[in-house]
Amino acid sequence: MFELEKFSLQGKVPQEEWKIRVDLAACYRLVAELGWGDLIYTHLSARVPNTDHYLVNAFGLAFDEVTASNLVKVDLQGNVLDGSPYQINPAGFTIHSAIHEVRHDAHCVIHLHTKATISVATVEGGLKPWSQYAMFSLSSLSYHGYEGLAVNADEKLRLQNDLGTTNHMLLHNHGGLTLGPTVGDAFMRFYDLQRACEIQMELLQSGQPIIEIPQHIVDGIYAQANVVHSGQTGGQKAWPSMLRRAYKLDPTFCD
């Protein structure tokens, strides 16, 4: 009754797909460990290499139950492929399908309902240039207005237009979203956004005068980030250590 169905797809799918499955499953486990989850809700998705198919969590599983094998492969309409025994939350995939449909550079999309991102997305003026963490998000940040539960297909076009070419989004009254060319990049971008929002809310609660970072520094942050990362992305530099962390927490994500 309480046991999950166990099976392994290792060796049964192309190696490139298996690697993405492991990365995405690790990301779900890290999100759970960091307290960013929302029971069985919200989603992280990743493109299966060289296809228009995507991996997403099985609806009904907690994030710390996600494994490389029980991730569900779907098409852009949310149809389950390859005979998976699991289903997905079709309404929950609306946001992901909208982004994957137009942002072909977005091989991973992370959308979460954390308290910090919901709070900042709901405060007038949104994210402020109040911390170093905010710099990375502000240089590529967009907003999307609240339209209720994301179940209406006609919202997709408005979401796509609002996102444009940015890599971070705050959805008013709803939460945060990041995307990237790899799972690691999307994860590190959400880490920066989450930390920026946490710090902003603490500063607001402090009631103390706040020193804002000048706009010209915000504008130059991308060039500085390239120096820090030695020409690589944040995901490329940090993600291997995050995989090791996930493995130490619970290696079953690799199953």
What percentage of residues in the chain have a pLDDT greater than 90?
65
Judge whether 3 lies within some domain.
no
Judge whether 36 lies within some domain.
yes
Report pLDDT for 57. 94
User: Does 233 score more than 90 pLDDT?
Assistant: no
* DSSP for 108-135, written as a single string: EEEEE--HHHHHHHHSTT-S-S-SHHHH
Judge whether 87 lies within some domain.
yes
What is the chain's mean pLDDT, rounded?
89
Could you tell me the pTM of the whole model? 0.91
Half-sphere exposure of residue 129, counting CA atoms within 13 Å on the CB side? 14
Report pLDDT for 218. 85
d(CA 125, CA 53): 36
* DSSP for 150-194, written as a single string: S--TTHHHHHHHHHTT-SEEEETTTEEEEEESSHHHHHHHHHHHH
Judge whether 104 lies within some domain.
yes
Judge whether 10 lies within some domain.
no
Judge whether 201 lies within some domain.
yes
Positive or negative CA dihedral for 107, 111, 114, 120? Answer: positive
User: Does 77 score more than 80 pLDDT?
Assistant: yes
Question: Do the beta carbons of residue 180 and residue 46 sit within 8 Å?
Answer: no
The pLDDT tens digits for 131-179 are 999 998 998 999 999 887 766 777 889 999 999 999 999 999 999 999 9
> Residue 222 is part of which domain span?
15-248
Strands 108-112 and 175-180: antiparallel
The pLDDT tens digits for 93-102 are 888 989 999 9
Judge whether 1 lies within some domain.
no
User: Which carries the bigger pLDDT value, residue 77 or residue 108?
Assistant: 108
Q: Report the CATH number at residue 196.
A: 3.40.225.10
Report pLDDT for 99. 93
Query: Domains in the chain: how many in total?
Result: 1
What percentage of residues in the chain have a pLDDT greater than 70?
92
Judge whether 84 lies within some domain.
yes
The pLDDT tens digits for 178-204 are 999 999 999 999 999 999 999 999 999
d(CA 42, CA 112): 5
The pLDDT tens digits for 25-68 are 999 999 999 999 988 888 999 999 999 999 999 999 999 999 99
